[in-house]
Chains A and B, each alone.
Chain A
Amino acid sequence: MTSVVRDRNIAAVSLATAHRSFSLRRVGAMVLRYIYLLRGSWPRVLELVYWPLVQMLLWGFITKFFMTNSSWVVQASGVLLGAMLLWDVLFRSQLGVSLSFMEEMWSRQLGYLFATPLRPIEHITAMLVLSLLRTLIGMVPASFLAILFYQYSIYSLGLPLLVFFVNLMVMGWAIGLFVSAIVLRFGLGAESMAWFLIFALAPFSGIYYPIAALPAWLHPLAWALPSSYVFEGMRAVMFEHVFRTDLLAAAAAINALYIAVGTGAYLYAFRLARERGLLLQVGE
Chain B
Amino acid sequence: MQDSVIEVRGLTKRYGTVLAVDSIDFSVQRGSTTALLGGNGAGKTTTLAMLLGLLLPTSGSITIFGVDMLRHRHRVLPRMNFSSPYVDLPGRLTVREILTVYGHLYAVRNLKARIARIADELSISEFLDRQARTLSAGQKTRIALAKALLNEPELLLLDEPTASLDPDTGDWVRRYLLDYQRRTGATILLASHNMTEVERVCERVMILRAGRIVEEGTPAGLIERFGRATLEEVFLDVSRNRGGAETLSVRAAR
- Which residues of A come within 8 Å of B, CB atoms? 1-7, 9-15, 17-19, 21, 23, 25-26, 28-30, 32-33, 36-37, 40-41, 103, 107-119, 271, 274-277, 279-280
By a CB distance below 8 angstroms, the chain B residues around A114 are: 53-54
Residue B87 at the chain A interface, CB threshold 8 Å: yes
* CB nearest neighbor in B for A44: B92
Expressed in whole angstroms, the Cα–Cα distance for A115 and B78 within the complex equals 9
Q: Do B104 and A274 touch (CB < 8 A)? A: no
A30 CB to nearest B CB, Å: 8
A122 CB to nearest B CB, Å: 9
Could you list 15 further interchain pairs (A-B, Cβ under 8 angstroms) beyond the known A18-B107, A29-B104? Answer: A1-B176, A10-B109, A13-B107, A15-B78, A26-B105, A29-B105, A33-B90, A37-B93, A40-B131, A107-B90, A110-B87, A111-B82, A112-B87, A115-B81, A116-B105
Q: Do A33 and B93 touch (CB < 8 A)? A: yes
By a CB distance below 8 angstroms, the chain B residues around A37 are: 90, 92-93
B17 CB to nearest A CB, Å: 14
By a CB distance below 8 angstroms, the chain A residues around B77 are: 18-19, 115-117
Q: Do B46 and A11 touch (CB < 8 A)? A: no
Partner of B54, one of A14, A32, A280: A280
Q: Which 4 A-B pairs have the closest CB atoms?
A: A18-B78, A29-B104, A111-B87, A108-B88
By a CB distance below 8 angstroms, the chain B residues around A103 are: 90
* CB nearest neighbor in A for B54: A279
Among A6, A13, A115, chain B packs the most CB atoms within 10 A around the CB of A115
Expressed in whole angstroms, the Cα–Cα distance for A117 and B75 within the complex equals 8
- Which residues of B come within 8 Å of A, CB atoms? 15, 45-46, 49, 52-56, 74-82, 84, 86-94, 97, 100-102, 104-110, 113-114, 117, 120-121, 123, 131, 147, 151-152, 172, 176, 179, 183-184
Q: Do B78 and A29 touch (CB < 8 A)? A: no
* CB nearest neighbor in B for A122: B105
Partner of B79, one of A7, A15, A25, A107: A15
By a CB distance below 8 angstroms, the chain B residues around A9 are: 109-110
By a CB distance below 8 angstroms, the chain A residues around B84 are: 111, 280
A1 CB to nearest B CB, Å: 6
Q: Do A18 and B55 touch (CB < 8 A)? A: no
Expressed in whole angstroms, the Cα–Cα distance for A208 and B80 within the complex equals 54
Q: Do B89 and A109 touch (CB < 8 A)? A: yes
* CB nearest neighbor in B for A40: B92
Expressed in whole angstroms, the Cα–Cα distance for A112 and B176 within the complex equals 21
Partner of B15, one of A12, A36, A276: A276
Among A10, A13, A25, chain B packs the most CB atoms within 10 A around the CB of A13
A10 CB to nearest B CB, Å: 5
By a CB distance below 8 angstroms, the chain B residues around A108 are: 87-88
* CB nearest neighbor in B for A119: B74
Q: Do B184 and A6 touch (CB < 8 A)? A: yes
Contact A11/B56 with A41-B92, A112-B87, A119-B74 known, Cβ cut-off 8 Å: no
Q: Do B45 and A11 touch (CB < 8 A)? A: no
Q: Do A12 and B106 touch (CB < 8 A)? A: no
Expressed in whole angstroms, the Cα–Cα distance for A54 and B90 within the complex equals 31
A267 CB to nearest B CB, Å: 14
Partner of A12, one of B49, B87, B147, B152: B152
By a CB distance below 8 angstroms, the chain B residues around A112 are: 82, 87, 89, 102, 147
By a CB distance below 8 angstroms, the chain B residues around A4 are: 117, 120-121
Contact A107/B101 with A12-B152, A117-B77 known, Cβ cut-off 8 Å: no
B117 CB to nearest A CB, Å: 6
* CB nearest neighbor in B for A8: B152
By a CB distance below 8 angstroms, the chain B residues around A118 are: 105
By a CB distance below 8 angstroms, the chain B residues around A109 are: 87-90
Q: Do B15 and A277 touch (CB < 8 A)? A: yes
Among A3, A30, A116, chain B packs the most CB atoms within 10 A around the CB of A116
Expressed in whole angstroms, the Cα–Cα distance for A189 and B111 within the complex equals 38
